[in-house]
Amino acid sequence: MSSAQTAPYEALARMIERELELVGTGDYEALAELKSERDALIATLPATPPACARPALQRAALMNKRVEIEIVRVREALLVEFANVDRVSRTARGYSPPRTDRRHVEATA
């Protein structure tokens, strides 16, 4: 097993671990930049990885799944928060005085 052969795959796994951290902290700008870097790294990899890269690729696959799960969790939390904002807004409108229809143009000429 050559460390030169596994180095890009280890780097890929570390990038995906970093993505998980960024999703957890909500740093989506840095996440987008890191995804671009990851895509560039993947473009340089051979179509068939060497056998010695298997552990790093397995770790990368597991971490990638965790990133997906975390993104879904954050999305669901945002949807719940948006629903709460909408509910509170409707409730607040219920306490406001009724709006009277105002004409913007004088009807008599």
pLDDT class of 108 with cuts at 50, 70, 90 = low
Please give the average per-residue pLDDT across 6-12, as a whole number.
Answer: 95
Q: How many CA atoms lie within 13 A of 2 on its CB side?
A: 5
pLDDT class of 109 with cuts at 50, 70, 90 = low
Cα separation of 79 and 76, whole Å? 5
Q: Which of 45, 41, 51 is nearest to 19 (CA)?
A: 41
Cα separation of 54 and 50, whole Å? 7
Please give the average per-residue pLDDT across 14-24, as a whole number.
Answer: 95
pLDDT by residue (tens digit) across 72-105? 999 999 999 988 888 888 888 778 777 777 666 6
CB distance 66 to 19 below 8 Å:
no
DSSP letters along 8-67, please?
Answer: HHHHHHHHHHHHHHHHHHT-HHHHHHHHHHHHHHHHHS-SS--GGGHHHHHHHHHHHHHH
**Residue 50 confidence (pLDDT):** 94
Identify the residue with better confidence: 57 or 99. 57
Domains of the chain, first to last = 3-95 (1.20.58)
Cα separation of 37 and 40, whole Å? 5
